[in-house]
Amino acid sequence: MYTAAIIPARYGSSRLTGKPLADICGRPMIWWVYNRVKLAKKISEVCVATDNTEIYETCSRYGLSCVMTSPKHGTSTERIYEAAQTITADLYVCVNGDEPLIDAKLVDAVVPSQTEGFFAANLMTKIKNPVEAVDCTNIKVVTDEDNFALLMSRSPLPYPKSSMDFDYYKHLGILCYTPEALRFFAETPRGKIEQIEDINELRFIEHGKKLKMIPVEAQTLSVDTAKDLEYVRKIIGEKLQKGEICL
């Protein structure tokens, strides 16, 4: 199947404005994300989707495929859907543009071997640090026995009233959609819980659509603050010195 990875890159971030362009060891953050995603074996094409001319021009300068999208989108998935109108594919993978350390194997993990019709999937990983379970920036997931999402929340789920014998999971910013699933998302209004929690994927759950959650072992870091950015610079700098990665 032809699978396109689309990286939404928005300039206006409330905590770190312009972060797709933040310098990391001589390259903008979006360059690192793009080239990490390109290493995925199941990805046929990579493209950045942005609403900012400076990001678009930077991508062009570094030879990164990029499309301009509307600045009116409320979610990254809506931006993906617009970009998908100019990119024909069987599957579309969304990779957040703020994870320059993303492992290409995680990108491959969300891509099914075959599917048709409506399909939407999201990665999740076990929470190992208890602090993450109460951190509202980590979206917690509860699934059924077949790993389809039952509910997502920024609050700890489930509540440990009768037992503590439970593994908490959080979602990762790597998702996969068929064209039908993307169209459904774009044409369906936000539900009440999605509006309250501000979690895009609740749009599927609230409207009775299946969302496959794929468990993986992962250590990811999204760059949300200046402190995160400095940490990533340090890690990538060390990898460059050791020859583990190259520019």
Q: What is the 3-state secondary structure (H, E, C) of 142-170?
A: EECCCCEEEEEECCCCCCCCCCCCCCCEE
Mean pLDDT of 51-77: 94
Average pLDDT over all residues of the chain: 93
User: What is the pLDDT at residue 46?
Assistant: 98
Asked if the model's pLDDT at residue 107 lies above 90, the reply is: yes
User: What is the pLDDT at residue 14?
Assistant: 66
Query: Class of the 3-242 domain?
Result: alpha beta
Mean pLDDT: which of 17-21, 81-85, 219-223 is highest?
A: 81-85
Give residue 173's pLDDT band: very low, low, confident or very high (50, 70, 90).
confident
First vs last C-alpha separation in the chain: 30
- Who has greater pLDDT, 13 or 124? 124
Residues 130-160 pLDDT 10s: 888 898 888 999 999 999 999 999 999 888 8
Asked if the model's pLDDT at residue 13 lies above 80, the reply is: no
Asked if the model's pLDDT at residue 77 lies above 80, the reply is: yes
Instruction: Give how far Cα 164 sits from Cα of 85, 159, 217, Å.
Output: 46, 9, 21
- Domain spans of the chain, in order of start: 3-242
User: What is the pLDDT at residue 115?
Assistant: 84
Mean pLDDT of 95-111: 93
Listed residue (128, 46, 138) closest to 87, CA to CA: 46
Which two tokens mark 151?
Answer: 């509910």
Mean pLDDT of 94-118: 92
**What percentage of the chain carries pLDDT values higher than 90?**
74
The span from the CA of 91 to the CA of 177, in Å, is: 6
Looking at beta carbons, which pairs linking 56-61 to residues 24 or more positions away fall under 8 Å? 58/20, 58/21, 58/28, 58/30, 59/30, 59/34
The span from the CA of 189 to the CA of 195, in Å, is: 10
User: What is the pLDDT at residue 164?
Assistant: 81
Residues 186-227 pLDDT 10s: 999 999 999 999 999 999 999 999 999 999 998 777 888 889
Rounded to two decimals, the pTM is 0.93
The span from the CA of 95 to the CA of 107, in Å, is: 8
> Helices 76-84 and 179-187 sit at what angle, rounded to 10 degrees?
120
Pairing state of beta strands 120-126 and 169-177? antiparallel
